[in-house]
Structure 1
Amino acid sequence: MSNTGPFTLKWGILATGGIAKTFTKDLLIPTTTRNASDIQHELVAAASSSSLSRAQTFLNEVGAPETAVPYASYADLVADPNVDIIYVATPHSHHYQHARLALEAGKHVLCEKAFTVNAAQAQILIDIAREKKLFLMEAMWTRFFPVAKEVRDIVKSGQLGEVIRVWADLSFWKDVEGEFGTAHRMVNLELAGGALLDLGVYSLTWVFQILYHIVPAEERGPPAVASAMTKYEATGCDETTSMILTFPGGAQGIATTSLRVAHHPTPTSPSAHAPIRIQGTLADIHIPYPPYRPQSYVLLPASNDARGTLASFPEQTVTREVPAGGHGMFYEADECARCIRDGKLESEVMPWEESLEVMRVMDLARRQGGLDYGDLEGTGYL
Structure 2
Amino acid sequence: MVYNARWGILATGGIAKTFVKDLLRDPKARDTNDVTHSVTAVASSSSKTRAEEFISDINIPGNPTTYGSYDELVADPNIDIIYIATPHSHHYQNARLALESGKNVLCEKSFTVNAAQTKILVELAKQKKLFLMEAVWTRYFPLSVQVRELIQKGEIGEVLRVTADNSIGQGGWDQSHRMLNLDLAGGALLDLGIYSLTWAFQTLYHTLPLSQRKPPSSILSTMVKTASTGADEDTTMLITFPTTTPSNNLQRTSHAVAMTAFPVDSNPDKQNSARPAIRIQGTKGEIQVDGPAYRPERYRVISKTREGEPVKAVREVENVFPSNGHGMYWEADEAARCVRDGKLESEGMTWEESVVIMEVMDEVRRQHDLVYPEKIESTDYPIKL
State the TM-score bracket (shorter-chain normalisation).
over 0.9
Aligned to 2:293: 291
Aligned to 1:279: 281
Aligned to 1:95: 91
2:337 aligned with 1:338: yes
Aligned to 1:236: 230
Match of 1:108 among 104, 109, 112: 104
Say if 2:267 and 2:273, in contact at 8 Å, map to a contact too.
no
- Residue by residue over 1:74-109, the C-alpha shift from the partner in whole angstroms, topping out at 9 and shown as x without a partner, is 111111110111000000000000000000010000
5 Å matches for 1:127-276?
Answer: 127-174=123-170, 176=171, 178=172, 180-223=173-216, 224-249=218-243, 250-264=253-267, 270=272, 273-276=275-278
Give the Å deviation of 1:134: 0.2
Say if 1:114 and 1:197, in contact at 8 Å, map to a contact too.
yes
1:41 is paired with a residue whose SS is strand
C-alpha distance in 2 between matches for 1:128 and 1:81: 20
Unaligned runs of 5+ in 1: none
Say if 2:6 and 2:79, in contact at 8 Å, map to a contact too.
yes
When residues 274 and 7 of structure 1 are mapped into structure 2, their CA distance, relative to the original with a 3 A threshold, is: same
Question: With structure 2 as the length reference, what TM-score do the two structures score?
Answer: 0.93
C-alpha distance in 1 between matches for 2:239 and 2:53: 44
1:213 is paired with a residue whose SS is coil
Give the Å deviation of 1:283: 1.2
| Letter aligned with residue 238 of structure 2 | I
Unaligned runs of 5+ in 2: 244-252
Say if 1:121 and 1:379, in contact at 8 Å, map to a contact too.
yes
C-alpha distance in 2 between matches for 1:266 and 1:17: 28
| Letter aligned with residue 229 of structure 1 | M
Say if 2:8 and 2:79, in contact at 8 Å, map to a contact too.
yes
Question: With structure 1 as the length reference, what TM-score do the two structures score?
Answer: 0.94
Match of 1:51 among 42, 47, 55: 47
Aligned to 1:377: 377
1:24 is paired with a residue whose SS is helix
Give the Å deviation of 1:218: 3.8
Say if 1:27 and 1:333, in contact at 8 Å, map to a contact too.
yes
C-alpha distance in 1 between matches for 2:44 and 2:254: 45
How many percent identity over aligned positions?
Answer: 53
Say if 1:265 and 1:289, in contact at 8 Å, map to a contact too.
no
| Letter aligned with residue 136 of structure 1 | L
C-alpha distance in 1 between matches for 2:305 and 2:101: 57
1:44 is paired with a residue whose SS is strand
When residues 368 and 50 of structure 1 are mapped into structure 2, their CA distance, relative to the original with a 3 A threshold, is: same
| Letter aligned with residue 256 of structure 2 | G
2:326 is paired with a residue whose SS is coil
C-alpha distance in 1 between matches for 2:102 and 2:298: 39
C-alpha distance in 1 between matches for 2:274 and 2:165: 14
When residues 266 and 19 of structure 1 are mapped into structure 2, their CA distance, relative to the original with a 3 A threshold, is: closer
Give the Å deviation of 1:309: 6.2
User: What's the C-alpha RMSD, in Å, of the aligned pairs?
Assistant: 1.5
Give the Å deviation of 1:302: 2.5
2:160 is paired with a residue whose SS is strand
C-alpha distance in 2 between matches for 1:226 and 1:308: 39
Give the Å deviation of 1:316: 1.0
Give the Å deviation of 1:294: 2.1
| Letter aligned with residue 254 of structure 2 | A
2:86 is paired with a residue whose SS is coil
| Letter aligned with residue 203 of structure 1 | S
C-alpha distance in 2 between matches for 1:171 and 1:127: 34
C-alpha distance in 1 between matches for 2:381 and 2:168: 34
Aligned to 1:122: 118
1:355 is paired with a residue whose SS is helix
The aligned length equals 371
When residues 253 and 69 of structure 1 are mapped into structure 2, their CA distance, relative to the original with a 3 A threshold, is: same
Give the Å deviation of 1:137: 0.1
C-alpha distance in 1 between matches for 2:134 and 2:117: 13
